[in-house]
Amino acid sequence: MAAPASPAGRPRLASLILQRKTLVIGLIVLTVIALLAILAPLIAPYSPSRLSVVNRLKAPSERWFFGTDEFGRDVFSRTIYAGQLSLLVGAAATALAAVLGITLGLMAGFFRRFDGVIARIIDAMMAFPDILLAISLVAALGPSLATVIVALGIVYAPRLARIVRASTLIIRELPYVEAARALGVPTWRIMTRHVLRNLVSPILVQASFIFAYAMLAEASLSFLGVGVSPEIPTWGTMIAGGRQYIGQADWMMLFPGAAIVLTVLSLQLVGDGLRDLLDPRLRKDL
C-alpha cells in the first residue's frame, strides 16, 4: 500500500523507509560506524600509532576497551582509525565499479555493435573468482592503496554492467525512448535522462552489495599481505597482525573482525531494504 504522498515527496519516502525495519537498522548501524571512523581523531582515547612497550598485549579493560597489541598500541583506537581506510576503499571501489559498469552496460545495451564484445567481456570477467582476479591485478599493478581500489573496481564492474545492459536492452525499445528519438533528442541525452534515470533503483541496490563485497575482499587482500602495506591499519591488516598472537591476545583479531562483520551486515541490510523499497519485483523472498 502506498504511503501518503506530499507535494515535495519527501515525507512519503521517509515514511516508506521507516516502515522497513531492516533498512532502518542497517542505516543506523552504518551511520554509527561511519561516524566513529570519521570522528576517530576526536573519539580515540590514544593515537593509533602510540607505542607503549610496557603495556603490550594487555587484555580489554576500562583503560583499553579492546586491549592492546604487541607494541602496546590501543586496539580500540586503531580499530576506529582503521575504519576510515576500510570504508574509503569500499566506497571508492564501489564508485569506480559503478562508473565502469554503468558506462559499459549502457554502451552494450544501447549500441548493438558494441553489445557482442562487451557482453562477452562481462561473461569472461564473471568467470574469475573475485579474490583471485583482485590479487592477480594487484600483483600486476603493484600493491598500494590505489591499486587495491582500482583492482576491486574492475573486479566488481561486470556485476553492474550486466544489470545495466539487461535493463537498457528493455528500456531502449519503450515508446517514450522511441518518441525522444523521433523528436531528435541526442543519444547521450536519451541515455542519461531517459535510460539511466530509470535504472537508479537497481544500481543503488547492487552498489550497496558491491560495497559489502569490496570491504570483504579488501580485508582478505590485506590479510594475505597482497593489499595495502601491513603498516597501514585497516581491519584486514589488523587481523593479520593478530594472527600470530592468537593464543595470547585473541582480542587483537576479534575486534577488527567484528567491525568487518557489523559493517558488511549493515550494508547487506541496507541493500535488502533498498531492494524491497525501490523495486518490489526484485524481492528475493516473495
Share in percent of the chain as helix, strand, coil (round to 5): 75, 0, 25
Distance (Å) of CA 104 to CA 111, 130, 159, 167, 258: 10, 19, 11, 13, 36
Between 102 and 269, CB nearer to another protein:
269
Question: Rounded to the nearest whole angstrom, what is the least distance from the CB of residue 184 to another protein in the complex?
Answer: 37
CB 130 within 8 A of CB 138: no
Q: How many Å apart are CA 142 and CA 232, to the nearest integer?
A: 16
Question: Rounded to the nearest whole angstrom, what is the least distance from the CB of residue 188 to another protein in the complex?
Answer: 28
Q: How many Å apart are CA 190 and CA 180, to the nearest integer?
A: 7
Question: Rounded to the nearest whole angstrom, what is the least distance from the CB of residue 241 to another protein in the complex?
Answer: 12
Q: Residue 254 corresponds to which amino acid?
A: L
Question: Rounded to the nearest whole angstrom, what is the least distance from the CB of residue 59 to another protein in the complex?
Answer: 14
Question: Rounded to the nearest whole angstrom, what is the least distance from the CB of residue 51 to another protein in the complex?
Answer: 24
Q: How many Å apart are CA 80 and CA 46, to the nearest integer?
A: 11
Question: Rounded to the nearest whole angstrom, what is the least distance from the CB of residue 285 to another protein in the complex?
Answer: 6
Question: Angle, to 10 degrees, between the axis of helix 75-110 and the axis of helix 235-242?
Answer: 130
Q: How many Å apart are CA 175 and CA 41, to the nearest integer?
A: 54
**What is the binding site for another protein (CB under 8 A)?**
120-121, 123-125, 127-133, 135-142, 212, 216, 219-220, 223-226, 239, 242-243, 246-247, 250, 253-254, 257, 260-262, 264-265, 268-269, 272, 284-286
